[in-house]
Each structure stands twice: as structure tokens, then as C-alpha cells.
Amino acid sequence: MIIAIDGPAGSGKSTVAREVARRFGFEKLDTGALYRAVAVVCSEEGIDLADLDAVAARAEALELAFEATGEAARIAADGRDLSDEIRTSRVDRIVSAVATNPGVRRALLPAQRSFACGRDVVAEGRDIGTVVFPAAELKVFLTADPRERAHRRVAQRHEHDGAPAPAGALAREEAETLADIERRDAADAANTVPAADAVRIDSTSRTIDEIVCEIGRLIAERRAS
């Protein structure tokens, strides 16, 4: 069975997909990690991200290996582990230029589809239900209020801090994060479209547990039909 979880940055996709994978025995596919890996490799190799053909050709030639186990996906490109490099705020800022490149989107399709071959997979991204797995048995489109998404991102960044950050600094960081989220929403909008048959879930005032339970009910329904 394939479950597609699409939605904008910070809507809770990763956490929800991870919990769905853990509780219901699915492998998790984080498709954003693939676009991030292409962005890291191209920027390290000095390829101009505005040169659509050069970036697409590099994505096409890149040997990507990823695994679904553990807290965060592990990903390697041409044999080099990039699992940490792909999560930096620098990559947050440059990755949309790679993800909006149609040649890159085409180049990354086979890797996503072969990962799911013969497996129960929960795949998270933007275009999973529309392009990557249009026949997915269950499609969820997750949204949340942008302010709430900014708040969650900042809380996540500080969850392992020893002491609480000053309120003023946190408010500034949330405002900057909100601006960043709005920029990324605008850049990724064309590729973040809910499938006509997606179940829309607004996560703004709901807990992860509530959403995962709802998805659990939907999985049971789909399996029974």
C-alpha cells in the first residue's frame, strides 16, 4: 500500500509520516531529501542553479541511495553521506531553485518509484499524490496556518537548548522564519497542489497523535475496501 502525504513546508508532514511509518509498519520516503541532495552537490561543484540544463544533467547522473529507517532519513549521493548537510538553513534557501527545475523533477522520478516497488510506503513531499504515485491508495494533503508553522519550526530548533531563549529573541526568530516560510510557499506553489482525491487535514490546532489516528482509520478503511 502507498500513502502519499503532501503539503507545504512546516505543515507537519515529516513528523506525521514518521509516526505513521512507525505505528502502522510502513517504510518512509522523504522526497524532499532528494531535492536537497541535488542542491548540495550542485552548489559544492559550483554548478549555477539558474542553469537549468546543467543542474538537470547533474541530477540525472547522480547516484542516490537512501534508507527509510531511523529518526531522519539517511541519504548518500555518489557514495557520500549527505544526511546532515541537506538539513542546513543554507540548503533551505537554495533548494527551491533546484526543485522547480522540471528536468530535475523528471530525473528524480525513477528513484522515488523504484523505492516503493513491492513495499508498503508512506511518501512525503509536494507532488506525491499528483505525479509520483497518482494511484496511491491513500492521499493526504496536510496544511497549517503559516504562523503556526513558523512557531513549530522555531520550537523544534530550540528543543534541545539547555536554557529557555529570551522571549524577544524568539519573537524575532519566529518573524524571520515566517517570512522564510512565505517565500518558500511562493517558490514551491506550482508543485504543491492537492490531488483531487486527497483527504485534506488542517493540522493547525490538532496534535500529531490525533492526525496519526485519523490516518490510521483511513488506512483501515482503504484496506477493507
Sites of contact with ligand DC (CB under 6 A):
9, 31-32, 35-36, 95-96, 99, 125-128, 188, 191
* Residue (5 or 219) nearer to ligand DC, CB: 5
Supply the minimum distance, in Å, between the C-beta of residue 68 and ligand DC.
15
Supply the minimum distance, in Å, between the C-beta of residue 184 and ligand DC.
6
3-state class of 118 per DSSP? coil
Supply the minimum distance, in Å, between the C-beta of residue 78 and ligand DC.
20
Alpha carbons 50 and 53: distance in angstroms, whole number = 9
DSSP alpha helix (H) spans, the chain: 13-24, 32-44, 52-61, 89-99, 102-115, 146-157, 167-188, 208-224
Cα Dmax for the chain: 52
* Residue (29 or 219) nearer to ligand DC, CB: 29
Supply the minimum distance, in Å, between the C-beta of residue 105 and ligand DC.
7
Alpha carbons 189 and 7: distance in angstroms, whole number = 10
* Residue (29 or 215) nearer to ligand DC, CB: 29
Alpha carbons 111 and 172: distance in angstroms, whole number = 39
* Residue (100 or 120) nearer to ligand DC, CB: 100
